[in-house]
Amino acid sequence: MPAVDSPQPGGMSYEELRELLIPLMAHPKVAGIQLTILDPTLDPYGIYAQRLIDNLIKILSPIFREVKDHDEIMRF
């Protein structure tokens, strides 16, 4: 991602990141995730920020669906 302080060639693709994080985030011992070094001054039009957000939605959506389903079950 170009919108970071020290971009490195050969990093993970968004697809690789999703393949790694989706199962990890679904693990019951995972309590959160921290994102660092997205530099908005290097992304004045928000192009890279939007790609990151789109991918985070894909990564976190299964968890939110599971929580929603669990909450619906718990209401009955």
| Residues 22 and 14: beta-carbon distance below 8 Å | no
- Angle at alpha carbon of residue 52, lines to 23 and 33, rounded to 5°: 45
Q: How confident is the model at residue 64 (pLDDT cuts 50, 70, 90)?
A: confident
With CA atoms as reference, report the closest residue to 56 among 31, 30, 39, 34: 34
Q: What are the distances in angstroms from CA 60 to CA 9, 10, 25?
A: 26, 25, 7
Write the pLDDT tens digit of every residue in 3-42. Answer: 888 888 888 888 999 999 999 988 888 888 888 888 999 9
* Interatomic CA distance for residues 62 and 26, integer angstroms: 8
When mean pLDDT is compared across 23-32, 45-54, 66-75, the lowest value belongs to 66-75
Kindly list the domain boundaries of the chain, sorted by start residue: 14-75
